[in-house]
A and B are shown apart, each in its own frame.
Chain A
């Protein structure tokens, strides 16, 4: 029973992290039909921004709790700014192209951003561990968990709720859903689709950077961290169904719990389990769990 509870907690923590990473990716795809390969770089930019600021802030000796607001806020801002530049500077000229072309474009952006990161931050690792231990340890089921890790569950819940509320309970959300349904008709009805695209891309980018910023305290922030993450995020998004926020949540939960179960019971399966789950889901529902199959226009 104790081990089962530990598996559940581990699974929830990992799922929460995965959800925060993947939700921006699926949001952008849902609205803009762009599979944004540069999402990993936005994650890395968030992580680097946080790590740089945490290092500086904690060396000043100011009130430590304010550091949380600073590094999370800075990561979000960095993501928004980068997202805005990418969308206005490049993507808007590409709208209407085939999805495969957009994948190649975002892949190019990923390569550029990886080099920009190296130019700005160099190749040495950055550490931002001070906030990680500030939330203390919580003893559950006989072992200690980092309060910081447990707080990710809360953050993921808040992000999920905020997105659900914004999409379903606000006027802007309704406009967004109209664009998701059919962007051409939405434009004909007077919706400023271009603005919706900018806002969506900026929010999606900010979510990617937020994930990086939140992860930075537990990691050695080094070049390449975004590349590993994007593969996992894709697996989650594909399991849930491309473009479905609810799907990303369920995909994250499935992957997180299965991975924790493997680590505790049969560690050799850890590497395989994420892709095993993905293969199993896709063999039953090729479009993912939360996307209904639609007829293809010929």
Chain B
């Protein structure tokens, strides 16, 4: 067995992934905060004002990373779902479950910030543009995924049912995107398109990339934190979890005992 395979097999077990996730969560949280601070500084103090859209364009520093993450996280969920269906691994299903609320949040943020950007730029909070419509449908796909999982009591069944739904959705996402795009071009004249926008200044791109990586690191930190909670919830009855709980209880007992003695 190669080292690579051994690494994957080792951390496919919730028992060994739990402490690893616990160590990685603060690391990615710190990275997210640092990148977000740097990105926001570039976005608001360094990047020039857009000659066409004025200051309102600065909302894209939040909007574009959110939209990218919303689409990307759905693919990651589909990936973990495929792994969990193919290899019947518990942890990959838990990862998919942990990512879904964050993905839905990014889709919502993308729509909300898009509405605030669209009002000064297009003169309307909402237009039936292909990107907007497909992001809205993506949000509904996330909500359906979360709702299906929440309405099945047995966690293993919920894992497998939600995984199949995520895969059906992933096949459908490109079809939805292109059908919506075609529908839009047939119906109404072209709205301002992002692809036709003037080429971005270097500092604008830097700010956007910094914030994208910040959003990425935030997603990883939150997903790892959530997956730890899910592991605790599901594995509460398992041996390693009760040993872990006993260890930490022992430590706190020691601490309170020494505290009592000091008193």
Genuine A/B complex: no
Chain B residues in contact with chain A, CB under 8 A?
none
